[in-house]
Amino acid sequence: MSDHKTPTRVVVLGGGYAGTVAANHLLMRADVDVTLVNPRPRFVERIRLHQFVAATGTATVDYGTLLGNGVRLVVDSATRIDTAARAVLLASGGALDYDYVIYAVGSTCATPASVPGAAEHAWPIAEFEQAQRLRDAIGELDPYAPVTVVGAGLTGIETAAELAEQGRTVTLVCGGMLAPSLSEPGRRSIAKWFVRNGVEVRETAVVAEVRPDSVVLGDGTVLPSAVTIWTAGFGVPEIAARSGLRTDPLGRLLTDETLTSVDDDRIVAAGDAAAPSGRPLRMSCQAAGPLGAQAADTVLSRIAGSEPAPIDQAFVASCVSLGRRAATFQLARKDDTPLNFFIGGRTGASIKEAICKKTVRAIGHEARKPGSFVWRKGGRRPGRPAFVAPAATKP
């Protein structure tokens, strides 16, 4: 009799920061068959999409430099997970059988239906194809045509700053507060940069309507806007809900503290589409990479018959670029609350660029040396409870 064991089949859904790390990390075991499903043939650096839109940089990397030799890339989109048959159904009509799924489908732009004209006339930037269309639209504009950016989180700030540095006339509509995730000193540093570079900041204004050539604010003010860019909020793909798996109100897969689905221990989530204990981490590549490594470790633990470890991830900082020559590097506590300390200017920009480069290099390093990506920080993150099963029912 042959003692050859059938490899364990793991399908990773999503080839972003979490999915690529997870796929490479799984190669720690030689008896794991890893398939990565992604709708694009190249890796997208989402943290550089604002540069791509402003034509100051690129935002894609060849998967050949990022994936280990044992990872099979399938360029397709998952439409549903058939948990009974243990198969991932694909948009092309095919299916992939699995023993485990790592659900790392990421996030998308959320354009609110409650704002008239937003879906029709605003330009999202969350995904590569959206950024490509926006880049083309910006390129066709008169250099002095007014541009409005809606949303004053990190994406909105970086987009507004990148375009302003190119000489564009930019208005930033914040909807409440500029850079709400930063400390007061950090926010002031960004506000000062905007003043120096001619960005009009409407901090408390909200958008009531988006028109083809203007934006109407809540107080009735009409702002001329040749292109309106929407960065206010993210959503997630609906694959989990479509598959009969429980999700949080935004649609993120509900998991326990080991990132395992509360409905199916063969499905493990990572990145923006994961909601551990119903309390997800901030959507970011800073969270996605370590979550990808932990999701892979959870699967490897189950294959080995051992108990998976709970989340113990911590944050250290957040960094927002202000064009190509400045940035605000905001230090934070482990629970992601900001400290009253930041590093700005050219030094901040150097740190920001180093982080962006290191993020991609770490994925490639994991491909060459599976297991090198370390996610453990030493103890459960402050304020995270032990998992309690949510009361929600299946959709």
Average pLDDT, the chain: 92
**Which one has a higher pLDDT value, 243 or 111?**
243
Q: What is the pLDDT of residue 393?
A: 25
pLDDT surpassing 70 at residue 284: yes
Residue 162 has pLDDT above 90, yes or no: yes
Query: Any alpha helices (H) in 15-94, and if so which ranges?
Result: 17-25, 49-53
Report pLDDT digits (tens) over 192-234.
999 999 999 999 999 999 999 999 999 999 999 999 999 998 8
Three-class DSSP category at 12: strand
Split at pLDDT 50, 70, 90, the class of 312 is confident
| Chain segment 365-387, per-residue pLDDT in tens | 999 999 988 655 443 333 333 32
Residue pair 172/160 in contact by the 8 Å Cβ criterion = yes
Least confidently predicted of 4-18, 88-102, 182-196: 4-18
User: Residue 375 has what pLDDT?
Assistant: 56
Same fold yes or no, 8-107+236-312 and 118-178+185-230: yes
Average pLDDT over residues 107-136: 93
**Res 395 pLDDT > 80:** no
CATH no. for 118-178+185-230:
3.50.50.60
Domain residue ranges of the chain, discontinuous segments joined by +:
8-107+236-312, 118-178+185-230
Q: Give the pLDDT score at 384.
A: 37
- pLDDT per residue over 329-363, tens digit each? 999 998 899 999 999 999 999 999 999 999 999 99
Q: How many CB atoms lie within 10 A of CB 135?
A: 18
Q: Which helix (H) or strand (E) holds 276?
A: strand 274-276
Question: Model's pTM, two decimal places?
Answer: 0.92
pLDDT of residue 113: 83
* CA dihedral of residues 24, 26, 28, 31 (deg, nearest 10): -120
Q: Are 279 and 390 in contact (CB under 8 A)?
A: no
The reported pLDDT for the residue numbered 4 is: 56
Instruction: Tell whether the model's pLDDT for residue 1 goes beyond 50.
Output: no
Phi-psi region of 222 (alpha: psi -120 to 50; beta: other; left: phi over 0): beta
| Segment 16-25 mean pLDDT | 98
Write down the CATH superfamily of domain 8-107+236-312.
FAD/NAD(P)-binding domain (3.50.50.60)
pLDDT tens digits along 77-94: 999 999 999 999 999 999
31 secondary structure, DSSP code: T
What was the pLDDT predicted at 379? 37
